[in-house]
Amino acid sequence: MYEAVTPRPDGSSTVARFALTAADQGYDGIVVRADADTDCDYDAGAIADRYGVDVVEGCEVRADDRTAAASAVDRLRERHTVVCVRGGTLNRFAVEDPRVDVVTRPMVDGDVNHVLAKAAARNGVRLEFAFDRVLRADGGRRVQALRGLRKLREMVEQYDAPFVVSAGAESHLHLRAPRELLALGDLLGFTHDQVETGLREWGRITERNREVVSDSFIEPGVRRGRYEEDHR
Q: Is residue 226 in some structural domain?
A: no
CATH of the domain at 27: 3.20.20.140
Q: Is residue 230 in some structural domain?
A: no
Q: Is residue 227 in some structural domain?
A: no
Q: Is residue 59 in some structural domain?
A: yes
Tell me how many helices (H) and strands (E) the chain has. Answer: 9, 9
**Which phi and psi (to 5°) does residue 89 adopt?**
-70, -15
Q: Mind listing the pLDDT tens digit for each residue in 108-159?
A: 999 999 999 999 999 999 999 999 999 998 888 899 999 999 999 999 999 9
Measured between alpha carbons, how far is 68 from 59 in angstroms, rounded to an integer?
A: 15
DSSP category for residue 169: B
Q: Mind listing the pLDDT tens digit for each residue in 155-193?
A: 999 999 999 999 999 999 999 999 999 999 999 999 999
Nearest to 106 by CA among 116, 97, 96: 116
Residue 8's domain comprises: 2-215
* pLDDT at 226 exceeding the cut of 70: no
Q: Is residue 228 in some structural domain?
A: no
Computed on alpha carbons and rounded to an integer, the radius of gyration of the chain in Å comes to 17
Measured between alpha carbons, how far is 112 from 17 in angstroms, rounded to an integer?
A: 34
Q: Is residue 222 in some structural domain?
A: no
What mean pLDDT do residues 195-203 have?
Answer: 99
Q: Mind listing the pLDDT tens digit for each residue in 30-80?
A: 999 999 888 889 999 999 999 999 999 999 999 999 999 999 999 999 999
Q: Is residue 231 in some structural domain?
A: no
In sequence order, the 6+-apart residues with CB closer than 8 A to the CB of 172 are 13, 17, 18, 20, 21
**pLDDT-based confidence at residue 216 (cuts at 50, 70, 90):** low
Across the beta sheet with 29-35, the strand order is 2-5, 29-35, 54-61, 82-86, 102-104, 126-130, 163-166
Q: Is residue 109 in some structural domain?
A: yes
Total number of domains constituting the chain: 1
